[in-house]
Amino acid sequence: MKILVIGGAGYIGSVCAELLLDEGHEVAIFDNLSEGHRAAIDSRAKFVEGDLEDRQSIEKALSTQRPEAVMHFAANALVGESMQNPSKYFRNNIANGLNLLDAMISAGIGKIIFSSTCAIFGPPERVPIDETTAMRPINPYGESKLAFEKILRWYGEIHGLKFVSLRYFNAAGASAKFGEDHRVETHLIPNVLKVALGEKPAVEIFGTDYETPDGTCIRDYIHILDLARAHILALGAAKSDFYNLGTGGGSSVREVIDACRKITGRKIDIVEKARRPGDPPRLIASSEKIKRELGWKPQFQSLDVIIDSAWKWHQKFPRGYGD
């Protein structure tokens, strides 16, 4: 298939593009490089530099590339920042997303795979979180993703747009070529590994008084390669739907730090800080539906395997992509 990957110079988008190309698909990447990196663009892909804010640039990309489907990764995704600057999140994640959908409808492109998040649920009444869990986001990031999911449903009903929305938390790990390098790094595993590399003096733990066994937040870490495979499977979905993605288990902040100490063999100091606003204590996703309906089979469910892949990439690229 011909696929246009929106945000394909970013962390998840770059690995997804890599696997698509490995499987013989024709890939074009559309990215404004505000968060992504030119060095994260697979050399086998076509690259179109553009911004979803500019409706004409995405219309031109769609008419020129003529993809059969679109994968959309170009959202802002920092919970803390969304609590400080909600306008940025609603404008990019909703308004700019609408530019993409409208351009797709105009160009007659009828399928989109959307990178969503379990943050749409907020603090869940039960874990693991399945697709029937009540959706009550507690930050503008989760609210913006939920709003876009609702828009997808209406565009499906009114315009016949086929979509699959994949909701996940805490993508982690790396492929041999591409890994995690954000300009503002808030994710736990790369920040812990930066300490192991001597790039940072200590890792910060935000909140040690949560109602969890060791007092720190618990998250469901899923390997980036397993995530990418789920997106590729979604291309063949017979109907529009929403799927949660996770391992069904979770690791606390302290457990992640201990695993990083074990795998790197390095000293990793910590600094305990107050809770961040908008952080739920425990988020674990159920993937039973996507396993049952699309045949997804995660291959890298061990936290140690995930961290080991990230550590190998960070050792190879200690300063990330260097741009």
The torsion angles phi and psi of 189, rounded to 5 degrees, stand at -60, -50
Q: Count Cβ neighbours within 10 Å for each residue of 256-270 and write b for 16 or more, e otherwise.
A: bbbbbeebbeeebee
Distance CA 194, CA 268 (A): 9
Give which of 144, 89, 96, 86 is closest to 119, Cα–Cα: 144
Looking at residue 278, the DSSP 8-state letter turns out to be: T
Distance CA 187, CA 70 (A): 26
Is 141 assigned a catalytic role?
yes
Residue 184: how many other CB atoms lie within 10 Å: 8
Distance CA 146, CA 93 (A): 10
Q: 201: cis peptide before it, omega within 30°?
A: no
- Amino acid in the structure at residue 246: G
| CB-CB contact of 26 with 50 (8 Å) | no
Distance CA 5, CA 106 (A): 18
| Residue of 89, 141, 155, 210 with catalytic role | 141
| CB-CB contact of 158 with 174 (8 Å) | no
Helix, strand, coil shares, percent, the chain, to 5: 40, 20, 40
Tokens of 12: 């998840």
Beta bridge partners of 205: 272
For the annotated catalytic residues, the residue numbers are: 141
